[in-house]
């Protein structure tokens, strides 16, 4: 789930930890604390920073902060930038340079279909090597001295979001690695036009900033880490700064995932056979 704000984070790792994970409506949720206040957080590798609601910010006793505008896939929305927060999740303590406070009720009702108080962004992925087992409903920190299972893929940064190499209809492409995307594959307008993909319908979408309608196209073959997905519907993303593709849990749930953003790598180990 894209957010148009890039922030650095300082962190202190407090040892390996594993937590149960809820997988609901294509999204991943884990227990977290902010300034000691407990909450449930949406785990989102595509969010450039951590976001929380005003209600949770009040419980965490955070100050009002600086008024800003956040640009999302559906437009812009007012928010506040607040320094001095401490985030705890998966046995790791994060000290982000700042967090964003904003109303998440539209996203909660329209997309997530679950009460949403916090989005835990890429600070978590920058902090440690994580093992994400969507099928097993578990996530945790894993040691960096062990070889992860699966295919190693290099990460490439683009507009604040990390991407991995994939093959689309036989052609190389870069796909944003977005565990916060529970709505299906996105393809940029430029790449869809390059492949001469025909519109087959429309689908509602859009994250922060509101709802929008997107054209739908069909991808004959999408290859990720050696697994081929056929006849994949993709929504066309008209944002000018988007990468070729954005893949979320509709694709990534088919892999055991290990992430190490600091090492600029992810490992994907296919679960089961080829999916059509």
Q: Rounded mean pLDDT of 165-191?
A: 96
Which are the contacts of 254, defined by CB distance < 8 A and separation ≥ 6? 227, 229, 270, 271, 272, 275
Q: What are the tens digits of pLDDT across the range 63-91?
A: 989 999 887 666 778 999 999 999 999 99
As given in the structure block, the two tokens for residue 132 are 């994400």
Q: Say what the pLDDT of residue 204 is.
A: 81
Q: Say what the pLDDT of residue 116 is.
A: 96
CA nearest neighbour of 3 among 41, 45, 49: 49
List, as own/partner pairs, every contact residues 154-162 make where C-beta atoms lie below 8 angstroms and the sequence separation is at least 24, other chains included.
Answer: 154/264, 154/265, 155/261, 155/264, 155/265, 155/266, 158/243, 159/241, 159/242, 159/243, 160/3, 160/4, 160/5, 160/6, 160/48, 161/2, 161/46, 161/48, 161/243, 162/45, 162/122, 162/125, 162/261
Question: H/E element holding 25?
Answer: none
The span from the CA of 2 to the CA of 181, in Å, is: 9
Q: What are the tens digits of pLDDT across the range 122-132?
A: 999 999 999 99
Let me know: does 103 contact 53? Beta carbons within 8 Å.
Answer: yes
With pLDDT > 70 as the criterion, what percentage of the chain qualifies?
A: 89
Dihedral sign of CA atoms 144, 150, 152, 156 in order: negative
Helical residues (DSSP H) of the chain, grouped into ranges? 54-59, 105-107, 122-127, 189-194, 249-252
Segment among 54-58, 168-172, 201-205, 265-269 with least mean pLDDT: 201-205
Query: Does the pLDDT of residue 1 top 70, yes or no?
Result: no
Q: What is the end-to-end Cα distance of the chain in Å, rounded? A: 25
Let me know: does 179 contact 247? Beta carbons within 8 Å.
Answer: no
Q: Rounded mean pLDDT of 164-187?
A: 96
Neighbour tally for 84: CB within 10 Å: 13
Q: Say what the pLDDT of residue 245 is.
A: 97
Q: Rounded mean pLDDT of 238-246?
A: 90
Q: What pTM value is reported for the model?
A: 0.89
Choose between 74 and 185: higher pLDDT. 185
Q: Say what the pLDDT of residue 105 is.
A: 93
Q: Say what the pLDDT of residue 18 is.
A: 59
Q: Are strands 51-52 and 99-101 parallel, antiparallel or unpaired?
A: parallel
Average pLDDT, rounded, for the chain: 89
Residue identified by tokens 């227990």 is: 31
Let me know: does 231 contact 218? Beta carbons within 8 Å.
Answer: yes
Q: Say what the pLDDT of residue 8 is.
A: 35
**Gyration radius from the chain CA atoms:** 18
Q: Rounded mean pLDDT of 239-244?
A: 87
For the chain, domains (ranges, CATH) are 9-141 (2.40.70.10), 151-270 (2.40.70.10)
Report the SS3 class of residue 174. strand
Q: What are the tens digits of pLDDT across the range 94-136?
A: 999 999 999 999 999 988 999 999 999 999 999 999 999 999 9
Q: What are the tens digits of pLDDT across the range 252-276?
A: 999 999 999 999 999 999 997 443 3
């Amino acid at each position: 789930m894209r957010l148009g704000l890039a922030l650095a984070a300082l962190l202190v790792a407090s040892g390996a930890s594993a937590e149960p994970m809820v997988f609901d409506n294509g999204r991943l949720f884990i227990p977290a604390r902010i300034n000691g206040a407990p909450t449930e957080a949406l785990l989102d590798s595509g969010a450039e920073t951590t976001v929380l609601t005003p209600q949770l910010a009040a419980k965490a006793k955070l100050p009002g902060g600086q008024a800003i505008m956040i640009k999302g896939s559906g437009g812009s929305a007012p928010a506040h930038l607040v320094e001095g927060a401490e985030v705890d999740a998966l046995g790791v303590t994060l000290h982000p340079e700042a967090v964003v406070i904003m109303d998440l009720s539209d996203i909660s009702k329209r997309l997530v279909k679950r009460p949403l108080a916090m989005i835990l962004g890429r600070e978590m992925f920058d902090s440690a090597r994580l093992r994400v087992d969507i099928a097993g409903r578990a996530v945790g920190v894993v040691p960096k001295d062990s070889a992860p299972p699966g295919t190693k893929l290099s990460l490439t940064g683009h507009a604040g979001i990390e991407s991995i190499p994939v093959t689309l209809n036989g052609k190389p492409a870069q796909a944003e690695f977005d565990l916060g995307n529970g709505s299906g594959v996105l393809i940029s307008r430029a790449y869809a036009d390059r492949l001469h993909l025909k519109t087959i319908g429309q689908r509602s979408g859009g994250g922060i900033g509101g709802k929008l309608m997107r054209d739908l196209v069909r991808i004959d073959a999408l290859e990720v880490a050696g697994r081929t997905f056929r006849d994949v519907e993709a929504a066309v993303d008209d944002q000018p700064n988007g990468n070729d593709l954005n893949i979320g849990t509709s694709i990534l749930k088919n892999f055991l995932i290990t992430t190490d953003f600091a090492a600029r790598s992810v490992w994907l180990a296919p679960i089961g056979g080829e999916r059509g």
